[in-house]
């Protein structure tokens, strides 16, 4: 069994991460899952949330939304719709998105609201703000 996993995180636009790691925690559609070396293989759909990976004692986080994750005993491949490191996130823009989603969900607008879409937008904005901190 390998001591480390190879983690690859890619979006349609770029390869975000490709390196050996000790542990990965990612937001599956039905909740967060953790992966250590030697994990049983599986395939899952990703939700909106924070992807955390550890290299030694250093912990790294990315805001991710949508896509798929494939886990093998020595590799985790995440194909995300979006994935951003904290330093890449525009906090002011994420804050405006949070406010807009909360306003729409509260019914304080005159427009027709797609509540599911607004809930996803709110979750994504909150995740981006969490990672940006």
Q: In this predicted structure, what is the pLDDT of residue 119?
A: 87
Same domain, 75 and 103: no
Q: In this predicted structure, what is the pLDDT of residue 62?
A: 96
Q: In this predicted structure, what is the pLDDT of residue 1?
A: 61
Same domain, 101 and 119: yes
Same domain, 55 and 114: no
> What is the CATH number for 55?
2.60.15.10
Report d(CA 124, CA 112) in Å as an integer. Answer: 21
- Give yes or no for a contact between 48 and 66, defined as CB atoms under 8 angstroms apart: yes
Same domain, 57 and 9: yes
**Domain tally for the chain?**
2
Same domain, 69 and 93: no
Give the burial string for 78-117 (b: 16+ CB within 10 Å, else e).
bbbebbbebeebeeeebeebbeebeebeeeeeeeeeeeee
How many Å is the Cα radius of gyration of the chain? 16
Q: In this predicted structure, what is the pLDDT of residue 108?
A: 66
Same domain, 38 and 16: yes
Instruction: Per-residue pLDDT tens, the chain, 133 aa: give them.
Output: 679 999 999 999 999 999 999 999 999 999 999 999 999 999 999 999 999 999 999 999 999 999 999 999 899 999 999 999 999 999 999 999 999 888 888 876 666 777 788 888 889 999 999 999 8
pTM of the model: 0.86
> What is the CATH number for 119?
1.20.5.440
Same domain, 61 and 102: no
**What is the domain extent for residue 128?**
89-132
Same domain, 78 and 107: no
Q: In this predicted structure, what is the pLDDT of residue 99?
A: 92
Same domain, 80 and 98: no
């Amino acid at each position: 069994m390998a001591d480390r996993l190879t983690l690859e995180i890619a979006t349609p636009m770029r390869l975000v991460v490709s390196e050996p790691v000790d542990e990965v925690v990612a937001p599956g559609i039905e909740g967060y899952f953790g992966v250590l070396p030697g994990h049983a293989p599986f395939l899952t759909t990703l939700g909106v949330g924070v992807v955390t990976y550890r290299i030694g004692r250093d912990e790294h986080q990315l805001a991710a939304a949508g896509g798929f994750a494939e886990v093998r005993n020595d590799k985790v491949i995440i194909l995300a719709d979006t994935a951003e490191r904290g330093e890449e996130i525009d906090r002011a823009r994420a804050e405006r998105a949070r406010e807009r989603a909360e306003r729409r969900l509260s019914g304080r607008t005159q427009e027709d609201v797609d509540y599911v879409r607004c809930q996803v937008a709110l979750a994504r904005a909150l995740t981006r703000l969490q990672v940006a901190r």
